[in-house]
Structure formats: structure tokens, C-alpha cells
Amino acid sequence: MSVRVRFAPSPTGGLHIGGVRTALYNYLFARKHNGTFILRIEDTDQTRFVEGAEEYILNSLAWCGITFDEGVFNGGPHAPYRQSERKDIYRIYAQKLIETGAAYYAFDTPEDLDEMRTRLEASGVKSPQYNSVTRMAMKNSITMSGSEVEEKIASGFPHVIRLKVPRKEEIRFYDEVRGWVSINSSQVDDKVLMKSDGMPTYHMANVVDDYLMQITHVIRGEEWLSSTPLHVLLYRAFGWEEQRPKFAHLPLILKPEGTGKLSKRDGDKFPQFPLEWTDAEGKTFKGFRELGYLPEALINFLALLGWNPGHDEEVMDINRLIEAFSIERIGKSGTKFDLQKATWFNEVYLRNKPDTELLPEFNETLKKAGIFSFPEAYLIKVISLLKDRISFENELFSFGKYFFITPEEYDAEMVAKHWNPDHKGWLKQYHDVLDQVTDWNTEEIENTLKKLAETLGMKSGKMMPVLRLVFTGVSFGPAAIQIAETIGKPETLKRITQALNRLP
């Protein structure tokens, strides 16, 4: 059977960066094997539904370049792909489990369940469960007569459908990342499969949908490992063991300090969302996009959080990642969310990006700042001078304002370090000899400075920091001669004159 994988997020909030990594691994695996990648929305818990979350998920994945072959937004042969629209399907399959005795009706009220837990805790049970032992003292179709059950259902009495988990049976399955996993069924309670509102639980819908959509590999986060024994039991109860997908549970992404799982609650400390997200309380978290990360850099960074290609190559575009990806090289241990490494990737991709591709966003930034009059060739020149000195695309203007605006102030620390009144003499002479330059280019500008330095018995290298201060007002940026060549002769002379008048 050809590879079929799915990414199945719940629209309960912003798509966390860990979810993006899960989607990415599924995408890489599908593309590597010429398979099919499905987007399914798992919204069975309507109480946690967040308006706008579905659209946010789609927009985030689209920005990252992760595309789907089938799914909730583009359809396919297994539609609908939104679980809330598949209720009738789950009801049919739940009824099949009732008929085979693999599941049963339970009519226990919340008070009944509380009383059971209280009774068990009083007898020393630390984690009370509704299971093969306790079910015999509860109100369900196992302990009640057939007529009582029919009467309850006919009267509309609230009830759920629970899986009848066998007692003391070893449940074994193979995980493609962790190897063989074994757990005793005594640790698995009789999970609710269909809730009293007619909606399936995650477990029921997940297994039925994976079977009907012919999913061959379930690649998901480590947090779902504990649910897998229950899913294995469900596949067996339905008689679908031969069609059961292979499981691969991904390692945790840890906080930058390396301790504890990366949590949405830390979203104000470091970015964890691909795009800006505003939660239900109105708190806004900046996304990687808004902070200036390039999507291809973020994808490269995420791919290596838990997987390694088996060689020292780190910078890999999406085609190279697809070619190199394999489940076998996914690690078991958690991986630190190293934001400095993410920034390094961004710097690499930024430097390798053609200047013309950075032009549209740079143009928009300038327009927002009220700057409109510079030609495209000038903007491209500025980009080429700055992009090797910044970490993010959105720093082009903040780091290079002096290419567009004559500095009104001078960095105090820079002034204290590099300026003294004696500089005014040679600076005035440099202004005058520059005024005679007819061929305005870096070679002529630099040669003029060197000749002046030689005449005055100075070193031109000692003059450069002063010129940088005069031209930019700050301590960073390209070489002073490059800045002068770019801003042009009139502006260069203007800035020297201004500095002579304003600096002490």
C-alpha cells in the first residue's frame, strides 16, 4: 500500500511550533515516498473550540510551505475531513462494537462516578478507574438487564458508550522510534468512546478515521504514546489489526534551558507560534514571521529538532530535507529549543537569498516609515550592504536608517570613544578634497582619504571610525567608504558639514 499520513490538529488555539514540527515530519515522509499527506481537523471536543483556530492552522502551514494532498480545506475522496461533520459515521461503528460485545452502554451520572472514586480512594486506591473490576458495581449494560437498557435508551436517559477493556492482558505494539512497547491492560480504563452529546471522543474518532482514510503511518508527538495501547485495543475490537498503521512517536521539544517540555505558557519568553496569535484572553504572542524569521530557515531548524540526517550537513532546503529524511533517524530523547541556532539558520538563509527577493518587504517597510523617493537600484544596493550584518529581514531599515535619513544625533559612546575636537581640522580638509572628486566611487573616495592621511602623517585606518560616526551617527554598519559611495557626494559633504557644526 502506498504511504498515507495525516496531520490532525485540534482547533483549540494557536498552532504550537511542536505541532508544526509534527506536520513537517509527516510532510517530509509523504514526499520522500511519493505518498499522500492529509489534513484532518479533530474537533470532537466542542467545548474547547476556538474561533479562527482552523484558519490560523492553515495559514501557518501555508507560510511554512507545508502543503496537503487531501484535507478539510481542499477536499478529497474521504471527505468530510472535519470530525464534527462525521458524527453519523462514528455512531455506526460504535454500534458495531456494542453488537460484538467489545463495548457497552454506561448510564452512570456524574454523582455515581464521584461516589465510585471516593469509595475507591477511601479503600486505598490511588488512581480510581472505571475498569474490568469497578464496572461490575456501576450502572451499565453489563450489570443491567436488556429490558432496563432498552428502557433507558428509549427514554433518552443520558449515556455513554465505553470500550470493554480485557482484564490483565499484555498489550504490545512496535513503535518505529522506540521499538517494542508493552503495557498491561490493567493500566487502561474502560475509555468513553461516544459521549452523551453524541460526539465521539478523540480515541474513537482517531482510530475510525485512520482506518477509513487508509492511513499507513501515524507520526505524532510523544504525548500520544500513552494512548496507543487503547488504540491498539480498538483496532483489535474492530477486527482491523492487519490494517493498523505503523506508529512513530516523536521526542519532546524541551525549553531552551533543556529542562521541561516547551509550553505555550512560555510564549511571552520566546516565540512558539509560526504567526502572531491572540489567545482567548486577548493576549497576543508574536510569531516567527513577525519577528523576521524566514519560513525556509524555520523549517530547516525544526527538521533537525529530533532528527539527524546522518552527516554533518546542516543547511538543507526542503528538497534536500525530503531526500534525506527517514523515521529511523528520529531520536528518542528530547531536544532543546535553541533559539540562537534558529537565528543562525535565519542569518544563513538571509545571506543566501537574492537581494531582489528581499526588495518587496523592504519597500513596504520604507513606505510605512514615509520613505518613497529612492530608486529600486539604490534599495538593492542598501540590501546588499546590510544583509550580511543582520539576523532578520525586518532589521534592514532599523539597522540602515542612515541610508535614507541624515542622522540628527550621534551615539554618545561612539563620540566618547572616537571623537575629539582635533578631528575637525582633517575632516574639513577631507570635505574640501572630496568636493573636487568627479568620479564618485569607493576607489576614488578611499584614495582621496589615503592621500590626505599621508600628507598629514596620519593612518587612514584611524580615520575610518570617525567617518562612520559622521556618516551614520552609530557604531555599526558597512565600511564608511561604502556608505559614502552609496549615499552620494552631495549627501556625504552635507553630513561632514553637519558634523563639523554639531560635534564639539
Active site positions, annotated:
264
Closest CA to 202 of 174, 175, 228: 228
Q: How many CA atoms lie within 13 A of 464 on its CB side?
A: 15
C-alpha to C-alpha distances, 373 to 147, 356, 378, nearest whole angstrom: 85, 18, 10
Strands 246-250 and 253-254: unpaired
Q: Tell the residue number behind the cell numbers 461503528, with chain if given.
A: 93
What is the DSSP code (8-state) at residue 139?
S
What is the DSSP code (8-state) at residue 104?
E
Q: How many CB atoms lie within 10 A of CB 237?
A: 22
**92 CB-near residues (< 8 Å, 6+ apart):** none
**C-alpha cell read off for 227:** 494512548
Closest CA to 40 of 60, 54, 56: 54
Pairwise CA distance, residues 359 & 386, whole Å:
13
Cβ distance 306 to 48 under 8 Å?
no
Q: How many CB atoms lie within 10 A of CB 80?
A: 14
Contacts of range 43-47, beta carbons closer than 8 Å, 24 or more positions apart? 43/10, 43/11, 43/82, 43/83, 43/84, 44/83, 44/84, 44/199, 44/200, 44/201, 44/202, 44/205, 45/10, 45/12, 45/199, 45/202, 46/84, 46/197, 46/199
Pairwise CA distance, residues 326 & 3, whole Å:
13
**C-alpha cell read off for 448:** 582621496
Radius of gyration of the chain (CA): 32
Cβ distance 165 to 318 under 8 Å?
no
Pairwise CA distance, residues 242 & 410, whole Å:
74
Give the amino acid at 165.
Answer: V
DSSP H/E element including 4: strand 4-7
Q: How many helices (H) does the chain have, and how many strands (E)?
A: 20, 14
Pairwise CA distance, residues 163 & 171, whole Å:
15
Q: How distant is the alpha carbon of residue 466 from its chain centre?
A: 44
Helices of type H across 213-247: 228-238
DSSP H/E element including 378: helix 376-386
